[in-house]
A and B are shown apart, each in its own frame.
Chain A
Amino acid sequence: MSSETNVVKVAANLTLACLVSGLVIAGVYSITAPEAARQKELAKTQAMQELVKEADQFAPIAGKTGWFEAKKGGKVLATVLPSESKGYGGPIKLLVAVTPEGKVHDFKVLGHNETPGLGDNIKKPKFKDQFPGKALAQLNVVKQPVADGSAIEAITGATISSKALTVAVREAVEAVAAAKTSATPDHVAGTQPITDPERLQVLRELIPAATGFHTVVGKTAWVAVEKGDQLLAYVLPAESQGYGGVMRLAVAVSTDGKVLAAKTMAHKETIRRADEALAPAYLQNFVGLSLSDLAGGKSVDAIAGATVTSKAVLACVTKALGDVNDYQSGVKG
């Protein structure tokens, strides 16, 4: 046998072996891949279910890979997110559930390389049960026993593992807190929530859909109205000269520049039928109007016999719309 045929034979041998190998693996993979993906998904939900037992739904959070909202009947119980830190023997991987109040709900160790019998006690209830209910400030590792539960007591002989785990949990809590801050609308930065109960009462009646009220930077007496994370409208006072003196309205203007609601706050009108022009039923007519509507001639008919008062109300509304328009273009510019 010449050496050339030998080389060809050798090459053919190897090529054939690799070809068969490739075909076999491809065949098996095509069968197992869907099942493996399903198992992975299953393991994930199972881990989350163990973590937040009461939850009946886990909704992925947009823009955050691996983050889920654990819900029960639409109510958010906890944010579930992965976390990781460097332990004694390698990375410790966790799934942490954080309550909406920013406290630890619970965690689950997904993977670790800690010393068996020492470091792997991080999974044992004695250590693990210290975490639920702890706030950020309490997530510190101490070596001495703490009676009041204001810190995490390290596992004897596994301080590094204890610390690493606590860091991972703390980072998860911090990440959730950070995400929450960044999710709050810009207009909230540097403002205070409205706390005066009387004012809140008025505001709530004015805009029943609202979920939060804040002051507005640089605008006294203005109120920013939120619905969830969204800025819904501004409520601002507007004044104009009526028949008997200055009248003041509180006007709610939505962020897209339309009247959302209006309420008479003070007036000195005495003429007959003026009350009608200041009543909620009349003010209701302004809802949905924008500046361009008014400029385009669309308006609200005056109350006969109270034309001046009606016009003063219109002036208030127009002024409020204009103010919000100016403010918003100023903010955006």
Chain B
Amino acid sequence: MSAVRGLWQIFVNGLFESNPIFRLALSLCPALAVTSNVYNAFGMGMSVLFVITANNMAVSLTRKLINAKVRVPVYITSIATIVTVVQLVLEAYFPRLYQELGIYLALIVVFAIILARAEVFAAKNPIIPSMVDGLGMGAGFAGAMVLIGVIREVIGNGTILDIPLFGPNYAPALIMILPAGGFITIGLLIAFFNHLTEVRKQAREKLALQEGGETA
């Protein structure tokens, strides 16, 4: 029971407390570049989810074999391999997505969040928790991407997944699908998440204070 709860903790950690984009502010480049519509944001999110999970597992499996001196090159090789596989698969089975994601796909190789999880978590933990950590971080990343994508596509283009929402007379706020809109969206979302964390922290402190008062 506690093992499952531990795994759940690891998973949820990636979603909120250590959300790659909103809390760690890592991998902002793709968060800006491919979130101008939901389809691309989701595709990118899923690609990263897969890469980070697969890489965490690979790193965790080989953590006892890899010489500490060359761990980073080995991690990069591993990530690059997985990314290439993703690229080949997308090219063959999802050509539209492959075309849209373009160079950003190859850039997954150097996403800080993937190397960071390999180094911080997978290199020190067994395979199952590493996998769950990858899934959590990946889901946190994908969720954040989709959230940004939804906001930008709805406001900036008046559509969601290319389906018009407001009818033909809606004049979309172009700035939202331009890079500037990406910065604004991400900035506001990070502020919102910071505020949320702050509120939760205060609530917990208050709770702890009350409990402390009662026992005293």
Contacts and interface: CB of A to CB of B under 8 A. Distances in A.
Contacts of B84: 25, 28
A32 B78 contact: no
Interface stretch (A33-41, A164-172, A258-266): A33-41
Interface in B146-164: 156-157
A218 interface: no
Interface string A25-64: 1001100110110011001000000000000000000000
A32 B74 contact: no
Contact of A18 (B77, B85, B93, B172): B77
Main secondary structure of the interface of A (DSSP, over half): helix
A295 interface: no
B174 A17 contact: no
Interface stretch (B20-28, B63-71, B118-126): B63-71
Nearest to B62: A17
A40 B96 CA distance: 11
A170 to B, nearest CB: 26
Interface in B167-214: 172, 174, 177-178
Contact of B156 (A10, A117, A118): A117
A147 interface: no
Nearest to A118: B174
Contacts of A39: 91-93, 95
Main secondary structure of the interface of B (DSSP, over half): helix
Given A25-B84, A117-B174, A32 B89 contact: yes
Contact of A115 (B88, B99, B178): B178
Nearest to B86: A28
A20 B73 CA distance: 14
Contact of A21 (B65, B77, B93, B174): B77
A6 to B, nearest CB: 8
A184 to B, nearest CB: 39
Interface string A4-15: 001001100110
Contact of A28 (B66, B80, B88, B99): B88
A54 B93 CA distance: 28
B66 A13 contact: yes
A21 B177 CA distance: 37
Contacts of B66: 13
Nearest to B73: A14
A39 B92 CA distance: 7
Contacts of A43: 95
B174 A32 contact: no
Nearest to B81: A21
B70 A13 contact: yes
Contacts of B69: 6, 10
Given A18-B77, A28-B85, A116 B174 contact: yes
Contact of A24 (B67, B85, B91, B156): B85
B178 A32 contact: no
Contacts of A117: 156-157, 172, 174, 177-178
Interface string A110-127: 010001111000000000
Contacts of A24: 81, 85
B56 interface: no
B211 to A, nearest CB: 51
Q: Which of B65, B78, B92 has the most CB of A within 10 A?
A: B92
A25 B92 CA distance: 14
B36 interface: yes
B36 A116 contact: yes
B78 A36 contact: no
Contacts of B73: 14, 17
A9 B80 contact: no
B88 A14 contact: no
Given A39-B95, A40-B95, A117-B172, A29 B88 contact: yes
Interface of A: 6, 9-10, 13-14, 17-18, 20-21, 24-25, 28-29, 32-33, 35-36, 39-40, 43, 111, 115-118
Interface of B: 36, 65-67, 69-70, 73-74, 77-78, 80-81, 84-85, 88-89, 91-93, 95, 99, 156-157, 172, 174, 177-178
Give me the 4 closest cross-chain CB pairs, A-B, nearest first.
Answer: A32-B92, A117-B174, A35-B92, A21-B81
